[in-house]
Amino acid sequence: MKFICEKDKILKALNSVIRAVATKTTMPILEGILIQTNENEIKFTTYDLEIGIEYIMDAQVENQGSTVVNAIMFSEIIRKLPDTQISIVLNDSNLLVIECEGSLYKLATMNPDEFPELPKINVENSITIEQNILKNMIRKTIFAVSIEENRPIFTGCLFQTTNNKLNVVAVDGFRLAWNSAILNNQTNDFNAVIPGKTLTEVNKIILDSFDKIQIGVSKNQALFEMDNCKIVTRLLDGEFLNYNNVIPEQWETRIRINKNSLQDCFERISLISSSSTEKEKKYPVKVIIDIGKVTILCTNQTGDAKEELYISTEGKNLESGFNPKYFLDALKVIDDEEIFVDFGTSISPCVIRPVDQDGDYTYMILPIRLKD
């Protein structure tokens, strides 16, 4: 096997596939990149048995062949080489020889026949969406995915198509993030829960562009396809939360507030809330709503904090407690200038929505019972 390619092209390929390399495994082959030539193309493949990524790039192929090389070592060498053409050869001793100007490296390789095949996916339903739209939808929901493995279904995002609309929903038991987008092409209705780990990696690979990405699902697998990159992943089994039934439709107290002002308040008060002699303990904040004013308070061993904002309010006065991190995570991904925050009772969820929206995204946060 021998091929010659530009450094920037191969580095782009490696930056994509490196995300599916196994980091903790008893199978060294999964720590490698499968390199295969096909006429004037090179295919790079990585697979950790949960996520698999293929990337195809053009190159000057002189001899056909395939091999597996340690992914981290190979990519780091390529990264630090000069910005010019690189020659890569598999020699008779099964060493991968990398040459670039005055640099010469020889890496041990593994048997490509031992590299596991990516699952063959029989796509039953699929959608096509612009990459920038999908990127934004993942960004606005992924933070609410659960990290607790005792409820595996909530470690992923629900992808649901209904009435020609894509809904992406994440929930961790304390909060819910929901985002939707209209699809341009007619599609069948389907539900699929995609692991949060996969979506995090997908979001690093896709571009903030109008280029299209196709998402296909089968019974237990999902496939993301772009021009030169393919990502396969398992789906999560189980019944996802019926989110439509848990988001309150009515409110008893509503505030209309500048998003940045509220975010600044929570960021400042979190300095007190999260600082404690008891490591990892986070103190809740009290939110008090009076006519025309919201007050946010926090008290612990470190000190006291108080923030006041004069705002537009409707409905009843209210006192409730919240984890400030949950507010901040939602506020950081909202791009709108003004938001509504709707409350029920002191023990009911609050719902955050942009003022100027057509119902395309919603965040719900459960309160915390405050000690007297």
Judge whether 35 and 111 are in contact, CB under 8 Å. no
In angstroms, the CA 234 to CA 194 distance is: 7
SS3 state at 362 = strand
Alpha carbons within 13 angstroms on the beta-carbon side of residue 218 total 11
Q: What is the pLDDT of residue 101?
A: 92
How many other CB atoms are there within 10 angstroms of residue 109's CB atom?
21
In angstroms, the CA 149 to CA 172 distance is: 11
In angstroms, the CA 295 to CA 310 distance is: 9
In angstroms, the CA 338 to CA 245 distance is: 26
Q: Which helix H or strand E contains 61, and what residues bound it? A: strand 60-63
What is the DSSP secondary-structure string of 96-153?
Answer: EEEEETTEEEEEEEE-GGGSPPPPPP---EEEEEEHHHHHHHHHTTGGGS---TTSGG
State which residues of the chain have pLDDT below 70.
275-282, 358-359, 372
Single-letter amino acid, residue 142 = I
Q: What is the pLDDT of residue 103?
A: 95
Q: Which residue has the tokens 């060493």?
A: 95
Single-letter amino acid, residue 48 = D
Token code pair at residue 206: 């896709």
How many other CB atoms are there within 10 angstroms of residue 72's CB atom?
13
Sequence-ordered list of residues with C-beta below 8 angstroms from that of 328, at least 6 positions apart, any chain = 263, 266, 267, 270
Q: What is the pLDDT of residue 279?
A: 46
Q: What is the pLDDT of residue 267?
A: 94
In angstroms, the CA 265 to CA 270 distance is: 8
Domains of the chain: 2-114 (3.10.150.10), 125-244 (3.10.150.10), 247-365 (3.10.150.10)
Q: Which residue has the tokens 């709503």?
A: 289
